[in-house]
Amino acid sequence: MRALSHPLPQELSGLFTDPARFSQQLAELCQPAVSPDALITHLRLFHHEPPQTAALLQALAHCPPGGRLAALQHLDLYELDSGEGGRALKDFLVSAAGPTSRPSSLAIQSCQGGVPAAALLGEGLAAPACRVHELSLAGFSEPQLSAALGPLAATREPRLTRLTLTRCTLGASAAAWLPALRCAAHLELRECVFTGPRAALIVSQGLLTATSGGEAVAPAVRTLVLDGGRAGVETARAVASLLAHPGCALERLSLDNNGGLGDGGAAELAAGLARNRTLRALQLGHCDVGPRGCDALAGVLAAHPALRVLALDYNHVGSQVRAHPPGALGCA
């Protein structure tokens, strides 16, 4: 297999690959690196069966210090099962394998094994030996997310610095594990579906829920992405409470492609911004914001000490933009 230059991932496909050929490919990946360019820092496995998942993880665990996979940092698995592959991933995460074969970034594109597979993942992520700090999950249902992320709520030390959830389903149960994500400096919820009329509000407020006691604790999140969901005025009000919290650390907030926000949501965000001192960039593209919402946001922009980017691309502000100082609003 040809070594790919960074940051492109090395891809390994299990499609129509017999066990002998797949083993040969793994052996080639574990060969000594003849030069720094031969080292693989990002590996993607796709179209794979559970035995292939297990074989790859075993190869990673036993990779020699000078092997091409010894410097692996990012591991991307197309799917996770509840059988051989899921158990192998859990064992890999909880094992005492050498630090050169323990990636700090893990992505799983599909959880075919349901809740049992997610539970195996959660057990591995919560293990003291686990070194995953950046996690990306796609297509997980609400029960699967709870099984995978819930165990992190029981850990005493912060683990994740970056969490990305894409096309996942979030409901009221997310409030049980959201407090554990307070350590995540970068949180992205892309194209997620919120179940129940108040789920989005509960999820947003969960970021302010204290682990003990009744006082709300501000999250350490610096980048919050809520793109492409079903966020409306109620969600905007909850996000505004994050912005207004005295301990807020948010520097970038994106709510692109949430047509339910409109002028009402923009006004709620403006109210939160009026009490905020940290946000540097706010993205509200394709959010159905009109002139009234534009006025509300522009009114706080002039007095905000840190906000430098307010993107209102593809909204209905029209000529209203020209009434504000140049550079104050980015609109198309």
pTM (2 d.p.)? 0.83
208 or 117: which carries more pLDDT confidence?
A: 117
Q: What is the pLDDT of residues 149-189, one digit of tens each?
A: 988 877 877 788 899 999 998 877 776 777 666 667 788 88
Average pLDDT over every residue of 194-219: 56
Q: Residues near 187 by Cβ (< 8 Å), separated by ≥ 6?
A: 162, 163, 164, 181, 207, 221, 223, 224, 225
Residues near 212 by Cβ (< 8 Å), separated by ≥ 6?
A: none
pLDDT digits (tens, 9 = 90+) for 52-86: 999 999 888 888 888 888 888 999 999 999 889 99
Q: What is the rounded CA–CA span in Å between residue 121 and residue 48?
A: 17
Q: pLDDT tens digits, residue range 136-149?
A: 999 999 999 999 99
**pLDDT score at 207:** 64
Q: What is the pLDDT of residue 197?
A: 54
Report H helices in 66-149: 84-94, 114-125, 142-149
**What's the sign of the alpha-carbon dihedral 55, 57, 62, 65?**
positive
CA–CA separation, 203 and 172 (whole Å): 7
Q: Please determine, for residue 119, whether its predicted confidence score (pLDDT) is greater than 90.
A: yes
CA distance 83 to 64: 27
Q: Which residue has the tokens 């665990």?
A: 61
pLDDT value of position 195:
74
pLDDT of the residue at 290: 94
State the Cα angle at 288 between 285 and 292, rounded to 5°.
105
Please tell me the distance from the alpha carbon of residue 152 to that of residue 121, in angstroms, as a whole number. 11
pLDDT per residue as tens digits for the range 3-27: 333 456 888 888 777 888 888 888 8
For range 234-254, the mean pLDDT? 88
| Contacts by residues 210-219 (CB-CB < 8 Å, ≥ 24 positions apart) | 210/179, 211/179, 211/182, 216/245, 217/182, 217/247, 218/242, 218/245, 218/246, 218/247, 218/248, 218/249, 219/181, 219/182, 219/184, 219/249
120 vs 92, 101, 124, 159, 165, CA distance in Å?
11, 20, 6, 17, 18
pLDDT (average), residues 105-119: 95
Percent with pLDDT over 70 in the chain: 81
In this structure, what token pair is assigned to residue 298? 């522009």
| For residues 223-236, average pLDDT | 85
Of the listed ranges 47-51, 88-92, 104-108, the one predicted with least confidence: 47-51
pLDDT tier, 205 (very low <50, low <70, confident <90, very high otherwise): low
- The overall average pLDDT reported for the chain is 82
Instruction: Name the residue type at position 286.
Output: H
The whole-number pLDDT of residue 156 equals 72
What pLDDT, on the 0 to 100 scale, is given for residue 107? 97
Give 96's pLDDT tier (boundaries 50, 70, 90). low
